[in-house]
């Protein structure tokens, strides 16, 4: 269960354009701060966890977890992002890797208490999302959780309504999660829940069956 009680990670730590979209409840970042706080709070409720962050960027989230004593492993395609993140987390295990290729060989025998990804996996096709999440389940500790925070929707009709309302601001290059469709394909292998934070954002929580 997601829990963000007592945490205020994002009060002054995100880009002005993201802040404006969040505070004015605009696509694509409406609900951003609450979403990120919820993921942060869930991990903080389990001290000294092993965390894999996929597409960590400048490590605004993971650096805070690192400072709190969690063991951080991260994947990012950008060498520049890795350099920035390494300056904040010198002992973290940061790998340059294109996650569209799946799980890197270096991680296939490891396990993690939390596998997280925020605003990154929408670059995968729907089929690739399913395949990648199935791979990630193999890295998950028995009581662990995959937490995916992104632009996502409970149903296809909710996505289409948002797309129509957004008009030309809708990003046609991104492929957003539809929870009901993902659940239909993955439910034989895992337990799933959807936590909505705005009309266009939510966290998909995935655990082993």
Domains annotated on the chain, with CATH:
30-208 (3.40.50.150)
The reported pLDDT for the residue numbered 7 is: 43
User: What is the four-CA torsion angle of 124, 129, 132, 133, rounded to 10 degrees?
Assistant: 140
Report which of 201, 177, 183 is spatially closest to residue 121, judged by C-alpha positions. Answer: 177
The reported pLDDT for the residue numbered 5 is: 45
The reported pLDDT for the residue numbered 13 is: 52
Residues of the chain falling short of pLDDT 70: 1-15
> Distance between CA 180 and CA 156 in Å, rounded?
8
SS3 84: helix
The reported pLDDT for the residue numbered 14 is: 56
Q: How many CA atoms lie within 13 A of 186 on its CB side?
A: 30
Report which of 88, 89, 148, 80 is spatially closest to residue 114, judged by C-alpha positions. Answer: 148
Question: Residue 84 contacts by C-beta under 8 Å, 6 or more apart in sequence?
Answer: 58, 59
The predicted model scores a pTM of 0.92
């Amino acid at each position: 269960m997601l829990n963000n009680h007592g945490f205020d990670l994002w009060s002054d730590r995100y880009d002005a354009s993201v802040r404006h979209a969040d505070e004015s409840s605009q696509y694509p970042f409406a609900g951003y701060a609450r979403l990120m706080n919820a993921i942060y709070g869930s991990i903080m409720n389990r001290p000294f966890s092993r965390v894999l962050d996929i597409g960590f960027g400048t490590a605004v989230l993971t650096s805070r977890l690192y400072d709190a004593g969690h063991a951080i492993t991260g994947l990012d395609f950008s060498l520049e992002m890795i350099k920035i993140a390494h300056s904040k987390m010198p002992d973290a295990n940061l790998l340059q890797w294109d996650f569209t290729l799946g799980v890197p060989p270096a991680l296939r025998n490891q396990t993690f208490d939390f596998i997280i990804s925020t605003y990154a996996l929408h670059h995968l096709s729907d089929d690739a999302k399913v395949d990648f999440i199935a791979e990630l389940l193999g890295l998950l500790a028995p009581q662990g959780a995959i937490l995916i925070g992104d632009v996502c929707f409970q149903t296809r009709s909710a996505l289409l309504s948002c797309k129509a309302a957004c008009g030309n601001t809708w990003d046609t290059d991104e492929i957003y999660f539809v929870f009901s469709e993902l659940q239909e394909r993955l439910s034989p292998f895992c337990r799933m829940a959807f936590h909505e934070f705005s009309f266009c954002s939510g966290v998909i929580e995935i655990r082993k069956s």
